[in-house]
């Protein structure tokens, strides 16, 4: 019997995402000026106020207030009527030194440059389990409902920032949700429901406002998203889609003034939209020694390369750690019965373990994680994004540093050949 599956996304102006972006901007600046920094930075945003808290071990000094204001300004909170504005909001920093008790198991001092010694010396920054997922549903190997939910808000953001004359009333905060009907053999049949709630300027006539926003989302935003999709996905759009556009009505009060935002509160939006699984650990605000982040990227890297290699059509990869211990506690793989080889999932996992070194130091090196690459992850998902090399500029006091970095390295299909060789594909 056909079934429905739903995923949601939130815009860069959503209060939780504002917090994520501030935390990751701090990570990037620490990485730019001291790549060995150990950072766990949480951000809270509310009406007219930003609170920064966390633990840091670093050899650099940053003007955290300036960095936070730059992020808020870039997102678009630049008007006093938003009740949260880049130049005027208060910023309180309660960042302090990292616990020596935690650091002793993560950052053991060694004098050699030998890879094996270094890899065995760096233990995991915490216990826990991390998951990666990949599917053939989309070209970027992401679940379709989440991919469409992201794309709707990315288009809305593009219009607000670059084509504002089309929908001049848009404000930064927004949410989307997409429900897809699947067949018994798990193929998407059609889009059942689309939900979009966008913050907007005040209107003199609420009824006219609701009708205008509804018409603009359905007739401007959705067609711009649809035309960028491949033909078989465009066919999922039909006249029977149920649209809920700003279903609660007026949405003038939004952003951190409407709801308090916290770092790490959108972990399902950040990953796979509810498909697969999640270990519970957030990503933003954490340096790569924290396996909540680095191992989640590494398992996505494994999963995507497995599917791209033709080993399976869909896969969930889990890795787990003990704090201070380099070697993972275990690697689990579930191909959902889609494996193309005559092996059990346990046997597949043993072979994958020989291809991918999952010790934290090895992950950092393989995915180039001690670079300032994290601001770009903090809105519209950490997975399914475009791997690319960019130049980024960072300023500290009177010093400016321009760095060329590679973004979203965990999205590279650079292990496909190794997997094919190992499994005789």
What pLDDT does residue 106 have? 60
pLDDT at residue 101 tops 70: no
Mean pLDDT for the stretch of residues 392-400:
91
Say if residue 292 carries a ligand binding annotation. no
What pLDDT does residue 115 have? 83
Mean pLDDT for the stretch of residues 319-341:
97
Instruction: Give the count of domains, the chain.
Output: 3
Say if residue 265 carries a ligand binding annotation. yes
pLDDT level of residue 12 (50, 70, 90 thresholds): very high
Q: Which residue has the tokens 């909001």?
A: 89
- Whether residues 248 and 271 share a domain: the answer is no
Give residue-wise pLDDT tens across range 351-385. 999 999 999 999 999 999 999 999 999 999 999 99
- Whether residues 192 and 157 share a domain: the answer is yes
Is 271 domain-assigned?
yes
- Whether residues 280 and 394 share a domain: the answer is yes
Is 388 domain-assigned?
yes
- Whether residues 166 and 222 share a domain: the answer is yes
Q: Which residue has the tokens 């999205």?
A: 411
Is 260 domain-assigned?
no
Say if residue 391 carries a ligand binding annotation. no
What share of the chain in percent tops pLDDT 70? Answer: 96
Say if residue 42 carries a ligand binding annotation. yes
164 SS3 class: coil
Q: Which residue has the tokens 């270990």?
A: 279
What share of the chain in percent tops pLDDT 90? Answer: 90
- DSSP at 375: G
What pLDDT does residue 110 have? 62
Say if residue 70 carries a ligand binding annotation. no
pLDDT at residue 104 tops 60: no
Is 8:177 a contact under the CB 8 Å cutoff? yes
- Whether residues 43 and 66 share a domain: the answer is yes
pLDDT at residue 36 tops 80: yes
- Whether residues 244 and 270 share a domain: the answer is no
Task: Tell me the CA end-to-end span of the chain in Å, nearest whole number.
Answer: 33
- Whether residues 305 and 239 share a domain: the answer is no
- Whether residues 190 and 220 share a domain: the answer is yes
- Whether residues 308 and 237 share a domain: the answer is no
Say if residue 266 carries a ligand binding annotation. yes
Least confident of 37-41, 103-107, 131-135: 103-107
Rg of the Cα trace of the chain?
A: 22
Say if residue 174 carries a ligand binding annotation. yes
Mean pLDDT for the stretch of residues 140-154:
98
Say if residue 232 carries a ligand binding annotation. no
Is 372:403 a contact under the CB 8 Å cutoff? yes
What pLDDT does residue 114 have? 82
Give residue-wise pLDDT tens across range 111-126. 667 888 887 888 898 8
CATH code of residue 24: 3.30.300.10
Mean pLDDT for the stretch of residues 283-309:
97
What pLDDT does residue 284 have? 98
Is 315:303 a contact under the CB 8 Å cutoff? yes
Say if residue 173 carries a ligand binding annotation. yes
Mean pLDDT for the stretch of residues 223-249:
96
Say if residue 357 carries a ligand binding annotation. no
Is 121 domain-assigned?
no
- DSSP at 185: T
State the average pLDDT for the chain.
95
Is 281 domain-assigned?
yes
What pLDDT does residue 118 have? 83
Is 400 domain-assigned?
yes
Is 123 domain-assigned?
no
> Nearest 5°: phi and psi at 195?
-115, 130
- Whether residues 277 and 419 share a domain: the answer is yes
- Whether residues 165 and 191 share a domain: the answer is yes
The first and second tokens of residue 177, run together, are: 């949700």
The answer to whether the pTM exceeds 0.85 is: yes
Tell me which of 39 and 125 has the higher pLDDT.
39
Q: What is the DSSP string of 324-369?
A: T-SS-SEEEEE-TT--SSSS-HHHHHHHHHHHS--SHHHHHHHTT-
pLDDT level of residue 195 (50, 70, 90 thresholds): very high
Say if residue 55 carries a ligand binding annotation. yes
Mean pLDDT for the stretch of residues 282-303:
97
- Whether residues 280 and 209 share a domain: the answer is no
pLDDT at residue 107 tops 80: no
Say if residue 287 carries a ligand binding annotation. no
Say if residue 28 carries a ligand binding annotation. no
Is 117 domain-assigned?
no
* Domain of 393, in residue numbers: 128-136+265-423
The two beta strands, 242-245 and 188-200, are parallel
């Amino acid at each position: 019997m056909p079934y429905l599956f739903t995923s949601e996304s939130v815009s860069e102006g959503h209060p939780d995402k504002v917090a994520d972006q501030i935390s990751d901007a701090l990570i990037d600046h620490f990485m730019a000026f001291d790549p060995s920094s150990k950072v766990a930075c949480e951000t809270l945003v509310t009406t007219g106020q930003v609170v920064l808290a966390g633990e840091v071990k670093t050899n650099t000094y940053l003007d955290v207030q300036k960095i936070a204001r730059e992020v808020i300004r870039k997102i678009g909170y630049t008007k006093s009527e938003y009740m949260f504005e880049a130049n005027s909001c208060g910023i309180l920093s309660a960042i302090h030194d990292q616990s020596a008790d935690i650091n002793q198991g993560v950052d053991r001092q060694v004098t050699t440059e030998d890879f094996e010694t270094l890899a065995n010396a760096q233990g995991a920054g915490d216990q826990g389990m991390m998951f990666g997922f990949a599917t053939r549903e989309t070209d970027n190997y992401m679940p379709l409902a989440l991919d469409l939910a992201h794309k709707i808000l990315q288009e809305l953001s593009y219009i607000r920032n670059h084509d504002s004359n089309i929908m001049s009333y848009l404000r930064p905060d927004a949410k989307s949700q997409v429900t897809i009907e699947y067949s018994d053999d798990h193929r998407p049949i059609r889009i059942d429901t689309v939900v979009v709630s966008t913050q907007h300027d005040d209107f003199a006539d609420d009824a006219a406002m609701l009708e205008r926003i509804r018409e603009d989302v359905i007739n401007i935003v959705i067609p711009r998203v649809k035309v960028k999709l491949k033909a078989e996905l465009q066919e999922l759009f039909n006249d029977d889609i149920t649209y809920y556009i700003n279903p609660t009505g007026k949405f003038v009060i939004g952003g951190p003034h409407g709801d308090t935002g916290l770092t790490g509160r959108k972990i399902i939006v950040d990953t796979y939209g509810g498909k697969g699984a999640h270990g519970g650990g957030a990503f933003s605000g954490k340096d790569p020694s924290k396996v909540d982040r680095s191992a989640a990227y590494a398992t996505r890297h494994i999963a995507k390369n497995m599917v791209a290699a033709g080993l399976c059509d869909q896969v969930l990869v889990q890795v787990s750690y003990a704090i201070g211990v380099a070697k993972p506690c275990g690697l689990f793989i579930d191909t959902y019965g889609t494996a193309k080889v005559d092996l059990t999932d346990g046997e597949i996992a043993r072979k994958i373990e020989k291809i991918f070194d999952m010790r934290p130091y090895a992950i950092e090196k393989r995915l180039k994680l001690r670079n300032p690459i994290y601001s770009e992850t903090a809105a519209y998902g950490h997975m399914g994004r475009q791997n690319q090399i960019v130049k980024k500029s960072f300023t500290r006091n009177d010093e400016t540093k321009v760095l060329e970095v590679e973004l979203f390295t965990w999205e590279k299909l650079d292990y496909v050949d190794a997997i094919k060789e190992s499994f005789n594909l």
